[in-house]
Amino acid sequence: MMRNHNLVIQYEGGAKRRVKRERPRVYISRKFAGRTTSSLLQEGQTVVRLLENSGIEPVDPLLSHFPNQVVPDHLYDRVIDTSFEQELGLSKEDVVRQCKELLESCDAVLILTGDEVSSGTWLEFGYARYKLDIPVVVVSSNPATWTAVEASYVASTVASAVAWLKQYFFSLEGEVSPQC
Protein backbone atom coordinates (compact mmCIF):
# COMPACT_ATOMS: atom_id res chain seq x y z
CA MET A 1 0.00 0.00 0.00
CA MET A 2 1.36 3.40 -0.96
CA ARG A 3 0.81 6.44 1.20
CA ASN A 4 -1.78 8.94 0.08
CA HIS A 5 0.63 11.22 -1.80
CA ASN A 6 -1.48 11.02 -4.94
CA LEU A 7 -4.36 12.81 -3.29
CA VAL A 8 -3.20 16.05 -1.73
CA ILE A 9 -5.07 18.94 -0.20
CA GLN A 10 -3.68 22.30 -1.26
CA TYR A 11 -4.64 25.54 0.44
CA GLU A 12 -5.36 28.43 -1.90
CA GLY A 13 -6.77 31.49 -0.22
CA GLY A 14 -8.24 29.27 2.48
CA ALA A 15 -9.94 26.97 -0.01
CA LYS A 16 -9.04 23.30 -0.26
CA ARG A 17 -8.78 21.30 -3.44
CA ARG A 18 -7.49 17.86 -4.30
CA VAL A 19 -4.58 17.39 -6.66
CA LYS A 20 -3.21 14.16 -8.10
CA ARG A 21 0.47 13.62 -8.75
CA GLU A 22 2.73 10.68 -9.42
CA ARG A 23 5.42 11.21 -6.76
CA PRO A 24 5.38 12.50 -3.20
CA ARG A 25 6.92 15.97 -2.75
CA VAL A 26 9.33 16.85 0.06
CA TYR A 27 10.17 20.42 1.05
CA ILE A 28 13.87 20.88 1.88
CA SER A 29 14.24 23.18 4.89
CA ARG A 30 17.50 24.48 6.30
CA LYS A 31 19.12 27.49 7.90
CA PHE A 32 20.10 30.11 5.30
CA ALA A 33 21.47 33.00 7.37
CA GLY A 34 25.24 33.19 7.67
CA ARG A 35 25.82 30.65 4.89
CA THR A 36 26.85 31.27 1.28
CA THR A 37 24.44 30.70 -1.56
CA SER A 38 26.98 28.33 -3.15
CA SER A 39 27.21 26.12 -0.03
CA LEU A 40 23.41 25.98 0.20
CA LEU A 41 23.14 25.05 -3.47
CA GLN A 42 25.75 22.30 -3.12
CA GLU A 43 23.98 20.93 -0.05
CA GLY A 44 20.67 21.11 -1.89
CA GLN A 45 22.01 19.27 -4.95
CA THR A 46 23.14 16.35 -2.79
CA VAL A 47 19.74 16.08 -1.09
CA VAL A 48 17.89 16.51 -4.40
CA ARG A 49 19.80 13.53 -5.85
CA LEU A 50 19.07 11.35 -2.82
CA LEU A 51 15.35 12.20 -2.90
CA GLU A 52 15.02 11.76 -6.67
CA ASN A 53 16.82 8.40 -6.50
CA SER A 54 14.21 7.36 -3.93
CA GLY A 55 11.28 8.30 -6.18
CA ILE A 56 10.53 11.50 -4.25
CA GLU A 57 10.18 14.93 -5.84
CA PRO A 58 12.37 17.48 -4.00
CA VAL A 59 11.20 21.05 -3.46
CA ASP A 60 14.03 23.48 -2.65
CA PRO A 61 12.72 26.88 -1.55
CA LEU A 62 16.11 28.52 -2.15
CA LEU A 63 15.80 27.99 -5.90
CA SER A 64 12.24 29.30 -5.94
CA HIS A 65 13.53 32.77 -5.04
CA PHE A 66 15.57 33.03 -8.26
CA PRO A 67 13.95 33.68 -11.66
CA ASN A 68 14.09 30.45 -13.70
CA GLN A 69 15.90 28.88 -10.74
CA VAL A 70 19.20 30.41 -11.93
CA VAL A 71 21.46 32.13 -9.40
CA PRO A 72 23.12 35.32 -10.71
CA ASP A 73 26.93 35.23 -10.59
CA HIS A 74 27.17 38.15 -8.15
CA LEU A 75 25.06 36.25 -5.60
CA TYR A 76 26.72 32.85 -5.93
CA ASP A 77 29.28 33.30 -3.14
CA ARG A 78 27.23 35.84 -1.20
CA VAL A 79 26.67 35.23 2.50
CA ILE A 80 22.95 35.31 3.14
CA ASP A 81 21.80 37.94 5.62
CA THR A 82 18.73 40.08 6.20
CA SER A 83 19.31 42.16 3.05
CA PHE A 84 19.39 39.12 0.74
CA GLU A 85 15.68 39.29 -0.10
CA GLN A 86 16.00 42.95 -1.08
CA GLU A 87 18.80 42.12 -3.53
CA LEU A 88 16.41 39.65 -5.16
CA GLY A 89 13.64 42.25 -5.31
CA LEU A 90 11.54 40.37 -2.75
CA SER A 91 9.92 41.62 0.42
CA LYS A 92 9.92 39.51 3.58
CA GLU A 93 6.20 38.97 2.92
CA ASP A 94 7.00 37.66 -0.58
CA VAL A 95 9.49 35.16 0.84
CA VAL A 96 7.08 33.91 3.50
CA ARG A 97 4.23 33.66 0.97
CA GLN A 98 6.42 31.70 -1.47
CA CYS A 99 7.60 29.33 1.26
CA LYS A 100 4.07 28.74 2.55
CA GLU A 101 2.82 28.01 -0.98
CA LEU A 102 5.63 25.52 -1.49
CA LEU A 103 4.99 23.88 1.90
CA GLU A 104 1.30 23.56 1.04
CA SER A 105 2.23 21.72 -2.15
CA CYS A 106 4.32 19.13 -0.31
CA ASP A 107 3.68 15.85 1.47
CA ALA A 108 6.51 16.11 4.02
CA VAL A 109 9.34 18.38 5.20
CA LEU A 110 13.00 17.45 5.56
CA ILE A 111 14.97 19.76 7.88
CA LEU A 112 18.68 19.47 7.17
CA THR A 113 20.02 21.70 9.93
CA GLY A 114 18.35 20.27 13.03
CA ASP A 115 21.34 21.03 15.24
CA GLU A 116 21.51 24.67 14.19
CA VAL A 117 18.13 25.95 13.06
CA SER A 118 16.84 29.42 12.32
CA SER A 119 13.57 31.03 13.28
CA GLY A 120 12.39 30.45 9.70
CA THR A 121 13.19 26.75 9.91
CA TRP A 122 11.23 26.41 13.15
CA LEU A 123 8.29 28.30 11.69
CA GLU A 124 8.33 25.95 8.68
CA PHE A 125 8.43 23.01 11.12
CA GLY A 126 5.39 24.34 13.00
CA TYR A 127 3.44 25.25 9.87
CA ALA A 128 4.00 21.80 8.35
CA ARG A 129 3.41 19.80 11.52
CA TYR A 130 0.51 21.66 13.10
CA LYS A 131 -1.21 23.56 10.28
CA LEU A 132 -0.75 21.15 7.35
CA ASP A 133 -0.42 17.96 9.43
CA ILE A 134 2.37 16.52 7.27
CA PRO A 135 5.43 14.62 8.52
CA VAL A 136 8.54 16.55 9.51
CA VAL A 137 11.85 14.70 9.42
CA VAL A 138 14.81 16.37 11.12
CA VAL A 139 18.51 15.64 10.61
CA SER A 140 20.19 16.10 13.97
CA SER A 141 22.92 14.36 15.92
CA ASN A 142 21.72 15.91 19.17
CA PRO A 143 18.02 16.87 18.92
CA ALA A 144 16.53 19.36 21.33
CA THR A 145 13.71 18.06 23.54
CA TRP A 146 10.91 19.53 21.41
CA THR A 147 12.49 18.19 18.23
CA ALA A 148 12.90 14.71 19.67
CA VAL A 149 9.26 14.64 20.80
CA GLU A 150 7.47 16.49 17.99
CA ALA A 151 9.37 15.52 14.82
CA SER A 152 7.92 12.61 12.88
CA TYR A 153 11.44 11.17 12.72
CA VAL A 154 14.90 12.33 13.80
CA ALA A 155 17.79 11.02 11.71
CA SER A 156 21.50 11.36 12.35
CA THR A 157 22.28 11.58 8.61
CA VAL A 158 20.56 12.86 5.50
CA ALA A 159 20.75 9.37 3.98
CA SER A 160 18.86 7.82 6.91
CA ALA A 161 16.29 10.64 6.77
CA VAL A 162 15.67 9.97 3.08
CA ALA A 163 15.49 6.22 3.76
CA TRP A 164 12.77 6.90 6.36
CA LEU A 165 10.83 9.10 3.89
CA LYS A 166 11.11 6.43 1.20
CA GLN A 167 9.79 3.81 3.60
CA TYR A 168 7.04 6.18 4.77
CA PHE A 169 5.79 6.84 1.24
CA PHE A 170 6.36 3.44 -0.35
CA SER A 171 6.02 0.89 2.47
CA LEU A 172 4.05 -2.18 1.40
CA GLU A 173 2.81 -2.74 4.93
CA GLY A 174 1.72 0.87 5.34
CA GLU A 175 3.73 1.12 8.56
CA VAL A 176 7.06 2.77 9.16
CA SER A 177 9.57 1.35 11.57
CA PRO A 178 11.19 3.81 13.98
CA GLN A 179 14.62 2.83 12.61
CA CYS A 180 15.54 2.71 8.95
Q: Between these two residues, 92 and 162, which has the higher pLDDT value?
A: 162
Going by C-beta distance under 8 Å and a sequence separation of 6 or more, which residues neighbour residue 86?
A: none
3-state secondary structure of 172: coil
Q: What is the pLDDT of residue 97?
A: 92
- Nearest-10 crossing angle of helices 158-170, 37-53: 40
Query: How many other C-beta atoms can be found within 10 angstroms of the C-beta atom of residue 159?
Result: 14
Q: In this predicted model, what pLDDT tens digit does every residue of 69-122 receive, in sequence order?
A: 677 777 778 888 877 777 778 888 988 999 999 999 999 999 998 777 788 899
Please give the DSSP secondary-structure letter assigned to residue 79. B
CB-based contact 26:109 (threshold 8 Å)? yes
pLDDT > 90 fraction of the chain, expressed in percent and rounded = 44
d(CA 31, CA 68): 22
This prediction has a pTM of: 0.82
Q: Between these two residues, 69 and 16, which has the higher pLDDT value?
A: 69
Q: In this predicted model, what pLDDT tens digit does every residue of 121-145 receive, in sequence order?
A: 999 999 999 999 999 999 999 998 8
Q: Which of 66-70, 90-94, 146-150, 165-169 has the lowest mean pLDDT?
A: 66-70
Q: Between these two residues, 49 and 115, which has the higher pLDDT value?
A: 49
Residue-range domains of the chain with CATH: 8-170 (3.40.50.450)
Q: Which amino acid is at 163?
A: A
Sheet with 153-155: strands ordered across: 57-59, 25-29, 108-111, 136-139, 153-155
pLDDT > 70 fraction of the chain, expressed in percent and rounded = 81
Going by C-beta distance under 8 Å and a sequence separation of 6 or more, which residues neighbour residue 7?
A: 18, 19, 20
Residue 20 pLDDT greater than 90, yes or no: no
> Got the DSSP string for 91-132?
-HHHHHHHHHHHHHT-SEEEES-TTS--HHHHHHHHIIIIIS
